[in-house]
């Protein structure tokens, strides 16, 4: 599963955090709070190595990383420090069913995944081509970073499943450039988020480094695969992957 997580990140530019937490919780029986922190480290390290591969191919836009990443960092921090702790344990009840904070966050997570998947599967906008002179809409990039950072902070994920569609659909970034840029943003967000856990609990570094090393091997495989798969074909693959995971989470939280 560590290998699959890495391949997913390298090929699609996201999805690693969607897989990592369930693997840690359900397969390895690690408690959810610790799993969230471990996930940040694993995904952050894997994304960092993946980003280096895309950097060598010149498929990372530093200006977009700076504008998008800086604003998303601010809103991620505010969401985790202010908004999430302010949520009550019990949000509301529906016909005797108690919607807790944990269920509410996971349902929000699934809804965001479904919305992103639909936009990518439909592919209504033709994928833009790489251009020598790119016009940067910095206000739009900053707004996207703030909004997505807030949502990512709420659900505690790396955010690639939101960042990639935003860059492709709203900023007209080619798919492979969006993947490389997304990996850079995920690496920074995840590793900075992980530092907050260092002071709260002891880390099993042998496990973390071993799992991360396998994930890094997977991300090299995924990056290599991305060089032979057309970007236009990656969009629906990414969309269907996120759709399946979103439906599963909804079923897990609300039905089963």
Q: Which two tokens stand for residue 144?
A: 């996207």
**Rounded Cα–Cα distance for residues 7 and 5 (Å):** 6
Alpha helix stretches (DSSP H) within the chain: 2-12, 16-22, 32-56, 62-78, 84-86, 101-122, 138-155, 160-165, 175-198, 205-226, 231-254
What's the burial of 115, exposed, middle or buried (CB within 10 Å: 0-12/13-18/19+)? Answer: middle
pLDDT at 199: 66
Domain extent at residue 113: 2-254
Residue 125, pLDDT score: 46
Tens digit of pLDDT per residue, the chain (256 long)?
899 888 877 777 666 667 787 788 778 888 776 777 788 888 888 888 888 888 888 888 888 888 888 888 888 777 777 777 777 778 777 777 777 777 777 787 778 778 777 767 776 445 545 555 556 778 888 888 888 888 777 766 667 777 877 787 777 778 778 888 888 888 887 777 777 667 667 888 999 999 999 999 988 888 788 778 765 677 687 778 778 878 887 887 777 6
Instruction: Work out how many domains the chain is built from and give that number.
Output: 1
Q: Which residue has the tokens 């966050």?
A: 105
CA-closest candidate to residue 240, choices 104, 80, 121: 121
The pLDDT, as a whole number, for residue 8 is 78
Residue for token digits 């980003």? Answer: 51
Query: What span, in angstroms and rounded, lies between the C-alpha atoms of 152 and 150?
Result: 5
CB 89 within 8 A of CB 101: yes
Q: Which residues contact 75 (CB under 8 A, 6 or more apart)?
A: 145, 146, 147, 148, 149, 150, 153
CA distance 102 to 82: 16
What was the pLDDT predicted at 149? Answer: 80
């Amino acid at each position: 599963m560590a290998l699959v997580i890495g391949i997913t990140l390298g090929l699609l530019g996201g999805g690693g955090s969607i897989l990592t937490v369930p693997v840690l919780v359900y397969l390895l029986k690690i408690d959810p709070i610790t799993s969230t922190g471990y996930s940040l480290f694993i995904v952050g390290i894997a994304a960092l190595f993946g980003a280096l591969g895309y950097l060598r191919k010149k498929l990372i836009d530093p200006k977009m990383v700076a504008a998008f990443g800086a604003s998303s960092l601010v809103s991620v921090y505010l969401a985790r420090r202010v908004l999430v702790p302010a949520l009550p344990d019990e949000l509301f009840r529906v016909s005797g069913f108690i919607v807790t904070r944990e269920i509410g966050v996971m349902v929000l997570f699934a809804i965001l995944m479904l919305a992103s998947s639909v936009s990518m599967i439909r592919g209504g906008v033709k994928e833009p081509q790489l251009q020598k002179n790119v016009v940067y809409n910095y206000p739009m990039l900053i707004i996207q970073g703030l909004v997505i950072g807030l949502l990512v902070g709420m659900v505690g994920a790396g955010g690639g499943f939101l960042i990639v569609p935003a860059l492709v659909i709203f900023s007209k970034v080619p798919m492979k450039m969006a993947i490389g840029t997304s990996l850079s943003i995920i690496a920074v967000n995840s590793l900075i988020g992980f530092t907050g856990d260092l002071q709260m609990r002891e880390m099993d570094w042998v496990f973390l480094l071993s799992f991360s090393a396998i994930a890094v091997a997977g991300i090299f495989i995924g990056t290599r695969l991305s060089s032979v798969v057309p970007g236009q074909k990656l969009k629906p693959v990414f969309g269907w992957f996120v759709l399946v995971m979103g439906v599963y989470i909804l079923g897990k939280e609300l039905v089963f």
